Amino acid sequence: MADIYSKAKRVQAWLAPASKYMTEAMKFMARLASKAESFGISDKVDQPRWLPDFPSVNICDDGAQNLIYDAIKAHVDYLVSRSWFNRVWIVQEVSLAAELIVSCGHSTMDWTAFARALETLRGALRQVPLGEERLRLEGLKPAWELVRQRDVFQLFDRYGDRNHHLMTNILGKQMRNRDCSDDRDRVYAMLANDEISISHNAGL
């Protein structure tokens, strides 16, 4: 699967079938992505970089609260709670794809735009007090972890870092909290991703 994902011209991530909720959520994410720079999100999204748990955004606390409220109103909480974001095998799909497309029914976004919206929301969420809104958007955490994982892989690719143990540790952290129907799949996924890190570090 690692070979398939890395050699494919384009990988399409299917999050959910078409529905009113999914259409509204995807439209919101597209609008937010187009305005990301106004929140201080750089154009280096989906680029080689090392990312924090919470990105920084230029927004006041009231603005952050309103943005999160609007996201929930547009059913983004339902979108980011899709099981796709938590599956163990998704890590290599997201990390290795040359071009990644996110789809819900007929609604489609390229990963870079989707990641820009996720980065904006993840940063804004930090400024929202603990409560129902934060609980409803818990799905942002595993979604943001995928953004971080992809960017770190691109960082290693760009600079040819050969620290195999570091990559294995990063992958292991991702594997630990992800879902699978059989716990043996967690082992197989880790072994597959261990081969990925070796290939990356060997320049294959």
What's the start-to-end Cα distance of the chain, in Å? 15
Question: Residue 84 has what DSSP assignment?
Answer: G
Hey, what are 130's tokens? 């603990």
Hey, what are 163's tokens? 């620290």
Q: What is the pLDDT of residue 203?
A: 47
Place of tokens 């994410």: 29
DSSP, collapsed to helix, strand or coil, labels residue 57 as coil
Domain boundary assignment for the chain:
2-202
DSSP, collapsed to helix, strand or coil, labels residue 69 as helix
Using CA atoms, how far residue 193 sits from 32, 49, 83, 102, 186, in Å, is 32, 20, 20, 22, 10
- Please give the mean pLDDT across all residues of the chain: 82
pLDDT in tens, 121-172: 999 999 998 888 899 999 999 999 999 988 988 887 777 654 544 555 555 5
**Cβ neighbours of 87 (radius 10 Å):** 17
Contacts of 78 (CB under 8 A, 6+ apart): 21, 22, 25
What is the rounded CA–CA span in Å between residue 139 and residue 72?
12
Q: Kindly tell me if the per-residue pLDDT of 181 is higher than 60.
A: no
What is the rounded CA–CA span in Å between residue 153 and residue 202?
14
Read out DSSP for 110-149?
Answer: EHHHHHHHHHHHHHHHTTSPSSHHHHHTTTHHHHHHHHHH
What is the rounded average pLDDT of the residues 13-36? Answer: 95
What is the rounded CA–CA span in Å between residue 200 and residue 204?
6
pLDDT in tens, 80-116: 999 899 887 788 788 888 899 999 989 999 999 999 9
Residues facing residue 103 across a β-bridge: 14, 108
Number of H helices and number of E strands within the chain? 10, 3
What is the rounded CA–CA span in Å between residue 204 and residue 198?
9
